[in-house]
Amino acid sequence: MARVEWSGDKRVRANMRAYGDRVRFAVEQVATYWAAVIEKAAKESAPWTDRTANARQSLRAYVDSEAPTGYPNPRDLAAHSVALYLSHGVEYGIYLETRFAGQYAIIMPTLQRHYGQIARMLREIFGR
C-alpha cells in the first residue's frame, strides 16, 4: 500500500498569494502609467470645437479606486480586476460620443489607439 503525504501546503498558498499580489501591482502600475497618457491624448485630440472648454477639461482617465465619486466602482466587476477608464465629466459628453454617427467621439478612438501599446507592455512584463 502506498501512502502520499503533503507538506508545505501553507507555503505554496502563501507564495501563490504573493505572486498574485505582485501581478496585480504590476498591472495597476501599467494602468496608472497609461491613464495619464490616455487622458492627455484625449484632451489634445478631441475633435469638437470648444465653446466653454468644459468638455475637454473634464475628460478624465483613472484606474480602480481612483474613480471620482459617482463613477462606477471597478471592484464591483471582480475582486481581482484592474480597470482603466476614460470618461467625460460633463452631462452632454454622451452626445459628443454618440450623435452625428460618432463624429465627435473621443473615448473609444483614444482607447483603441492605445490598446496595442498597453498589451505590448503587459506582454513584456509577463514574458509572452
- 8-21 pLDDT per residue, tens: 788 888 888 888 88
Domain ranges in the chain are: 9-126
Buried b (16+ CB within 10 A) or exposed e, 12-28: eeeeeeeeeeeeeeebb
- Is residue 35 scored above 90 in pLDDT? yes
Q: Report DSSP letters for 21-38, one per residue.
A: HHHHHHHHHHHHHHHHHH
Q: Which residue has the cell 489607439?
A: 113
Report residue 34 as a C-alpha cell.
497609461
pTM of this structure: 0.78
Give the tens place of pLDDT for each residue, 58-93.
999 999 755 555 555 555 555 567 889 999 999 999
Helix (H) or strand (E) holding 128: none
Residue type, 90: V
Q: What is the pLDDT of residue 65?
A: 56
